[in-house]
Structure 1
C-alpha cells in the first residue's frame, strides 16, 4: 500500500493488532455453492477457511451446532454464526439493495464471525473484479451508521470521495438525513461536486487532496461514559482504482485516535 500524502491514514494500519484468525465450517453437509460463496468472500485475504466433518464435530461436543461457521484464534472459538446468517446478510445480498434503500438501517446486521475479523487487514476489490468483496465495506459502514443512530449522541465522521454520491444513492441520503435528526454531530468529507443545498443538514468538509479523493472512512466516537461496544471505525484507502486496503475496529482507544486525527488534519 502506498500513499503520497499524510492520508487517513497509513499510520493506523501499523496500529492494528492483525490477529491470526480463521474460519471453520463445522459441517461439510452445506451445499457446495454455499461453501463457494464463503470461499470467495475471503479469497486472497489473510483469513483461511477449513472444515470439521460430522465425526470431528461430535467429538468436540458441537453436534448440535451444525451449519455453523466459527471464528477461531489460537485454537479458541471467538464467535459463531450460522450459514443462514451469512447468507442473509452478505453472501446472497447485492450492493444495490443498500444503495436503493431496500434494506432499512435498523435491519443491517454484521454476523459475529465477520465482526470478529476486526483489525485484520483486508485488500478488497470492487466490481467488476469482484461483486462481493467491496460489499463487506458497505455493510460495515452501514453497521457503524446504525450504531451512531441508535446511540443518538457522539460524533460521526464519514468520507464519500465525491459528495454527489450522497445524492446519487437514495439509501445513503436517507441514512444521513436520519442521523442529522439525532443528537449525533455528523461530519461528511469529499470532493465538492454537489451543491450544499442538496446534502442533508450536516457539517460538510471539502477538498481535493488524497484524504478527500481516495479514502473511505466511517468513524463513530460516542460520548464519554458510553458502552465501549459503541465505538466503531472503518478505514479504507484506495491504493489502486477500485481496490481498497481496509480494516475495521471496535477498540475504543484506536477509534478515538482515528477520529481525533481526522478532526485535526482533514
Structure 2
C-alpha cells in the first residue's frame, strides 16, 4: 500500500459503501421524520419509509445490498442525536459517559459525508460532533492508548468548558493525549496533554479525532472497550466539511501514524 501524502489521501482509501436507511412501520409524526432527513440531507444515504407486517413500529434499519446490517429505534436516534444541539456538548451539559452512538449511525462508517455548519445547517455537522465525542468516550473507557485531536484554534479548548473537561479527564487517567491547532491560547500549564501548534493546512483546516488502543492493530477487534476509532474531516470551503469515520484497526493505525509523523 502506498504511503499517504496527505490527510486527504485517506478519503481515496475508504470503500464508500452503498448503504441506506429504512424507517419501518413509522408512526411518529412528520416533524420527527423531518429531523432524520435534516441530519442526512445531501448525503449519499437515502431514507425511505416501509410498512412490514407484524413488525415493530418506528424502527430504523441500515441496509446494504438487501441485507440488514443494524437496527435502532427512532427513539434512540432522537435521544442521542436528533434532539441534541452542539451547545450541550460544548457546555458540558452532557457527560461523556452519556454519549451514545446508535448502531445504524455507527454502521455508516466509511461513508463519505459533506456537512455544513451553522447557520447553513443546524444538524449536519452535529453528526460529526457526536462521532468525536464517541471516540473520546472510547479513549476514556479504555484508560490507555493514544488520542490525537485537532481543534483548528486551541482557544476552543479554553472557551468550551465541556470540551476542556473531557480532555482534562482523559489526560489524567493515563491516555497519551495530543492536541493540534493554531497557537492562540496557552494551555500547557493546565491540561495534561501534549500540544502541537502550527499554521499549515492540517492545523487550521482539519478536524480529526483518532484513538488507537495499546497492542497494535489487533487490539480491540471484539468491539468492546479498546476499539480503534477515527474521524477525519477537512474544511476545503468555509464552514463546509468533507468527513468520514472508521473503526478499522489497520486504517485507524495508519491515520494515527500519518498524523504523528507529518502533523
TM-score (norm 2): 0.94
- 1:236 matched to 2:233: yes
> What is aligned with 1:245?
242
1:98 is aligned to 89
Instruction: Name the stretch that deviates more: 170-179 or 192-201.
Output: 192-201
Counterpart CA distance in 1 for 2:188 and 2:177 is 16
Q: Mark the runs of 5 or more structure 1 residues left unpaired by the alignment.
A: 1-5
- Trace 1:142-157 onto structure 2 (pairs within 5 A): 142-157=133-148
Equivalent residues in 2 for 1:122-201, closer than 5 Å: 122-197=113-188, 199-201=190-192
After superposition, the Cα gap between the structure-2 partners of 1:181 and 1:144, relative to the gap in structure 1 and judged at 3 Å, is same
Aligned length: 253
Aligned to 2:204: 213
SS of aligned partner of 2:61: strand
Aligned to 2:219: 226
- Counterpart mapping for 1:14-33 below 5 A: 14-33=12-31
Does structure 2 retain, via aligned residues, the 8 Å contact 1:79–1:112?
Answer: yes
CA distance in 1, matches of 2:190, 2:31: 41
- Matched residue of 1:37: which SS? helix
- Structure 2 distance, partners of 1:47, 1:210, is 29
Partners of 2:162 and 2:135 lie apart in 1 by: 15
Tell me the distance in 2 between the aligned counterparts of 1:117 and 1:82. Answer: 16
- The aligned counterpart of 1:65 is 56
Partners of 1:197 and 1:181 lie apart in 2 by: 14
**Poorly superposed stretches of 4+, deviation over 6 Å:** none
CA gap 1:199/1:240 in 2 versus in 1, 3 angstroms: farther
Whole-angstrom distance in 2 between the partners of 1:87 and 1:198 = 39
What secondary structure is seen at the aligned counterpart in 2 of 1:195? coil
In structure 2, the partner of 1:115 is 106
Structure 2 residue runs of 5 or longer lacking an equivalent are none
Cα offsets for 1:74-112 (capped at 9, x unmatched): 000000010000111111111110000000000000111
What is the RMSD of the two structures over their aligned residues, measured on CA atoms? Answer: 1.1
Partner of 1:75: 66
Corresponding position of 2:9: 11
Cα contact 1:156–1:218 (8 A) shared by 2: yes
Distance, in Å, in 1 between the alignment partners of 2:90 and 2:153 is 15
